[in-house]
Amino acid sequence: MSFFQITHQDKHSLARTGVIHTDHGDIETPVFMPVGTQATVKSLDSADLENLDVQIILANTYHLHLRPGEDLINNFGGLHKFMNWNHPILTDSGGFQVFSLKHKNIKASASSTGKSKQFNNLTMEQFNNEQSKLVEVDDEGVTFTSHLDGSTHRFTPESAIEIQHKLGADIIMAFDECTPDDADVKYTREAMERTHKWAERCITAHKTHPLTNLPTYKQNLFGIIQGANHKELREESARVISSLAFDGIAIGGESVGFNMEATKKILDWVNPIIPKDKPHYTMGVGFSPADLFEVVERGVDMFDCVAPTRMARNGALFQHCHPERLEGAEGSLSYRININNAQYKTDRSPIDPTCTCPTCLNYSRAYLNHLFKAEELLAYRLATIHNLHFFLNLMREIRQAIKEDKFLELKKEWI
RNA sequence: GUGGCCAUAGUUUAACGGUAAAACUGCGGAUUGUGGAUCCGCUAUCGAGGGUUCAACUCCCUCUGGCCACC
């Protein structure tokens, strides 16, 4: 059985349904993957996730390497057993975390020296001069300091794969360098070519895996396309990553997810190049329901975003949104309410009257408002359950619509 | 009963003879391969009344309320 099977191709767009087969179960695509960085989807346990019908969760190599360490998790039999989650898991390689730390450091140092906070047209020299000593990249790998205790660590493609082998996720990611969009083309190209070399080294490391205590099940390796917002670089990166023996193709970058106009453009550039028979994964997409439609329409099968869970912890709760019902401040559709707002203090209705999640079936807006105001822990759990249910339910509707060739009709209802 | 001190945002506190700062709270906003973090706006007829002064939250008097000491 192949890793990925397309079960239906939409007649009116690139949208498709499919199944990803892993040794911990099948995943119906397109799929939204909740983020559980530190081997927990914050405030929920594995029973909550099963009740929500979560198919796969994300964990993070950078965070779990620093704490509690991959060896400890390996000694417990891997992530699945450690966190009591017997369904698929994907681990991010840690590249994004390390390099976003670097970008933050550069921005901090630039603002502290009174220079512009923008980095338009940075040369490589300037870029390297500005970069914080906390993160140093070379062709071999990247050295960085822990945000927990300041200790020095080094990631290479080989070590990132080794750590992910020990963590034991069903899907693991190549180690990549995520460049800021405002770096110049020269640096972006160098980083991209480095990412390509690292991609080959990740594949080699994954094949050879010199470890003795490896998982007995299959781990699938995904490559990541970079190239920022440059058409030529994205196309080149798509060609290189597609030519390698990856099980899936991810599209990364600072603006992927963050800037949906750029994300759509990038997808349109790489779609003619990347193989259709491998799963497509946009990293960091899913800030709002509209974003899900945009990437699914462009043939994306997998995506993850911290938005529904982080938003939940801040009291931003999603709602099914008809255009006439919810208007954002600037006339745009907002899809969500802030449960902290005083108007909900005495509101007896559920968060979303059309929602069938356990939170909406059992609790009022007034109760949620109180829990958030009092900073009670239950607030985070009830809100997270609602937001995840909202996203997962929308994905179920999208998959059903694709199977009936009605994807674009469903999209019109939402956007 | 006598003497002294105090009264500034919802709370706790600043400053100054030239129409008031901060923290927390409150009311809104931001949040994108996760720090339950963080950031950004907004919110005061300066206890009441009178006096001095070009000008009073600031100086003086009275009242009200609170605190302390003594009898």
Compute the residue count for chain A.
415
Average pLDDT, chain A: 89
pLDDT in tens, chain A (415 residues): 799 999 999 999 999 999 999 999 999 999 999 999 999 999 999 999 999 999 999 999 999 999 999 999 999 999 999 999 999 999 999 889 888 776 665 555 544 333 233 333 344 444 444 445 678 899 999 999 888 888 899 999 999 999 999 999 999 999 999 998 888 999 999 999 999 999 999 999 999 876 556 678 999 999 999 999 999 999 999 999 999 999 999 999 999 999 999 999 999 999 999 999 999 999 999 999 999 999 999 999 999 999 999 999 999 999 886 544 444 434 445 688 999 999 999 999 999 999 999 999 999 999 999 999 999 999 999 999 999 999 999 999 999 999 999 999 999 988 8
Q: How far from chain centre, in Å, is Cα A266?
A: 17
User: Which residues of A are the active-site residues?
Assistant: 92, 304
Which residue is associated with the tokens 């939409």?
A: A10
> What ipTM does the predicted assembly reach?
0.84
Cα–Cα distance between A158 and A156 in angstroms, integer?
Answer: 5
Q: Is the CB of A338 under 7 A from strand B?
A: yes
Name the CA radius of gyration of chain A, rounded. Answer: 21
What is the distance in angstroms measured between the alpha-carbon CA of A112 and the sugar C1' of B14? 29
Amino acid, single-letter form, for residue A184: D
Phi, psi of A17 (to 5 degrees): -105, 155
- Is any atom of strand B within 7 angstroms of residue A285's beta carbon? yes
| Distance between the alpha carbon (CA) of A335 and the C1' atom of B28, Å | 18
pLDDT score of A208: 87
Which pLDDT tens digit goes with each residue over A109-159?
544 333 233 333 344 444 444 445 678 899 999 999 888 888 899 999 999
Nucleotides of B under 7 A from a protein CB: 26-38
What residue segments make up the domains of chain A, in order of their start? 4-304, 312-414
Q: How far is the CA of A69 from the C1' of B63 (A)?
A: 71
The reported pLDDT for the residue numbered A283 is 96
A 182-211 residues, CB < 7 A, strand B? none
Query: In the CATH scheme, what is the homologous superfamily, with its name and number, of domain A4-304?
Result: Queuine tRNA-ribosyltransferase-like (3.20.20.105)
**Distance between CA atoms of A163 and A349, rounded to whole angstroms?**
47
- The 10 Å Cβ neighbour count of residue A353 is 9
pLDDT, position A104: 63
Residues 230-259 of A with CB under 7 A from strand B: 250, 252-254, 256-259
A 258-277, residues with C-beta < 7 Å of strand B: 258-260
Residue A238's H or E segment, with its range, is helix A231-243
C-alpha–C-alpha distance, residues A295 and A30, integer Å: 10
* CA–C1' nearest nucleotide, residue A222: B33
pLDDT value at residue A220: 96
Question: Is strand B less than 7 A from the beta carbon of A21?
Answer: no
Cβ of A310 less than 7 A from strand B: yes
Give me the pLDDT at residue A327, please.
46
Nucleotide nearest to A224 (CA to C1'): B33
The CA–C1' separation of A245 and B26, in angstroms, is 57
A58 touches strand B (CB under 7 A): yes
Between CA A326 and CA A320 the distance in angstroms is: 9
Q: Which nucleotide is nearest to A97 (CA to C1')?
A: B33
For A62-96, write each residue's pLDDT tens digit. Answer: 999 999 999 999 999 999 999 999 999 999 998 89
